Amino acid sequence: MPNTPAQRIMRQRLIPLTVIYLAGCLAAMLFINFAGPPDIVVYLISLLLSVPLVACIFVIWRYVTEEKDEYIRMMFVQNMVVSTGFTLAVTTIWGVLELYADAPALPIYYTLVIWCVGLALSHLYRRIFA
């Protein structure tokens, strides 16, 4: 994928958010394990930890609106549609497995992870076959 100015800006926004999220996860894990805070504090910490992830979704939306190269934007949007379909398919299949085959419950948190995997797979498919 070429490096458009909008892609560089997206990367510059995603990297610090990822670092903040990972550092936050580590700090939260240590704090919760060693300080044993009350439930309400754990809830607040969890909500705070989700902020950088939600911000990542916002950054992706900003990228789509800021990308000036219409062909690159179209490909990215198509990849997003594919990854959304991939996520719906995986979560639906897993849901049915949970319902009828007693498969272990899939944490909702993984929805974003699955979506990102779908985005990467769609991008990879285009690179190899398109």
* Least distance between other proteins and beta carbon 78 (Å): 11
68 binds other proteins (CB under 8 A): yes
Alpha helices in 36-109 (DSSP H): 39-66, 70-101
**Binding to other proteins in span 1-40, by CB under 8 A:** 2, 4
Q: Give the separation between CA 20 and CA 49, rounded to whole angstroms.
A: 9
If one counts every other C-beta atom within 10 angstroms of the C-beta of residue 55, the result is 16
74 binds other proteins (CB under 8 A): yes
Query: Segment near other proteins (CB under 8 A), from 30-38, 69-77, 80-88, 98-106?
Result: 69-77
Which CB atom, from 72 or from 90, has the smaller least distance to other proteins?
72
How many residues sit in the footprint of other proteins (CB under 8 A)? Answer: 8
Among the listed residues 10, 18, 3, 117, the one whose alpha carbon sits nearest the alpha carbon of residue 65: 10
* Least distance between other proteins and beta carbon 100 (Å): 43
Instruction: Judge whether 5 and 68 are in contact, CB under 8 Å.
Output: yes
